[in-house]
Structure 1
Amino acid sequence: MLELRPNCECCDCDLPPDSSLARICSFECTFCASCSEQKLGGLCPNCGGELMVRPRRPVNKLGNNPASKTRVTKPEGCTARN
């Protein structure tokens, strides 16, 4: 099951479980649409994988399957992987 991380690893903006702006790679690294498109060129800076729209969990399923509350950030910021 996806963690549904609560924030963008680059800019630390909030990405609630129902956000249409969340992007993830196959390792669930999480970024906002703006950082994904403008800073990262659609590729994860951690693994080089493609960043895709994160699926949204139905609200009625969040009670038993809550989103993660653990924030992951890169204090040095993000840059595209070379």
Structure 2
Amino acid sequence: MLELRPSCEHCNKALPPASLEARICSYECTFCASCVDDVLGNVCPNCGGGFMPRPIRPSRDWKDNNFLGNDPASTKTKHRPVDPATHAQFSAAIRGLPPEQR
């Protein structure tokens, strides 16, 4: 189950469970849309994968107790700002490849 991490790992912007700005990679690294587009160039600094919008967990119980009240979002922050120069070096060779080909 997704942790629904509470903030962007780079800029620490709040990303509440219903945020349309949250982006995650397949390892659930979490960044805001601005950082993914403007800083990371859609390359995860932790794994090299791409990002997708994070799904939103239902806020009410529509079926079988599968909702935010039963499975709350994480409160553990992972604030790990990315060094732009280091990320540029890391991502240079893979940035031009679509995520599905990395």
Range into which the TM-score falls when normalised by the shorter chain: over 0.9
Structure number with higher relative contact order (C-alpha < 8 Å, ≥ 6 residues apart): 1
User: TM-score when scaled to structure 1?
Assistant: 0.93
Q: Any unmatched runs of 5+ in structure 1?
A: none
Partner of 2:15: 15
Distance 2:20 2:52 in 1: 11
User: TM-score when scaled to structure 2?
Assistant: 0.75
Q: Could you tell me how far 1:43 is from its partner in structure 2?
A: 1.2
Distance 1:51 1:43 in 2: 7
Alignment RMSD, CA only?
1.0
Aligned-partner SS, 2:23? strand
Q: Any unmatched runs of 5+ in structure 2?
A: 61-66, 91-102
Percent same amino acid at aligned positions?
Answer: 56
Segments ≥4 residues shifted beyond 4 Å = none
Structure with the higher helix share, 1 or 2: 2
- Report which of the two structures shows the higher radius of gyration computed on alpha carbons: 2
Choose from 63, 74, 78 the match for 1:68.
74
